[in-house]
Amino acid sequence: MRAIVDRQRCFGFGRCTEEVPEVFSQDEEGLSVAGDAAGVDPQRLVEAARACPRQAIRVVDGEGRDIVDLAGRPR
């Protein structure tokens, strides 16, 4: 499972970095970046996606299928 940040939608509010700091960080532009999510409880990734006010995070399974879409809705 992994998280994908849509940089066109991200405004850098940082809610994802508050929810799961071991996966999300902010780059030099202040936009969120998703790192390695191995070993992280998938529910925490889902909560980070739901916390994003810009709906900029997708959570996908190992085959690239949406677990959570950009609107924060489970699939």
Specify the pLDDT at position 72: 61
- List of the chain residues with pLDDT < 50: none
CA count, 13 A, side-chain hemisphere, 58: 13
- On whether residue 73 sits in a domain, the answer given is no
Residue of 39, 40, 37, 33 whose CA lies nearest to 14: 33
Q: Give the chain's domain count.
A: 1
Q: Is residue 74 part of a domain?
A: no
Q: Quick check: is 16 in a domain?
A: yes
pLDDT at position 23: 98
Q: Which amino acid is at 70?
A: L
pLDDT computed for residue 75 by the predictor:
58
Structural domain boundaries, residue 52 = 2-67
Instruction: Return the CATH number at 30.
Output: 3.30.70.20
Provide the whole-model pTM: 0.87
Q: What is the rounded CA–CA span in Å between residue 27 and residue 33?
A: 7
- pLDDT, residue 67, reads 85
Residue 72 lies in a domain: no
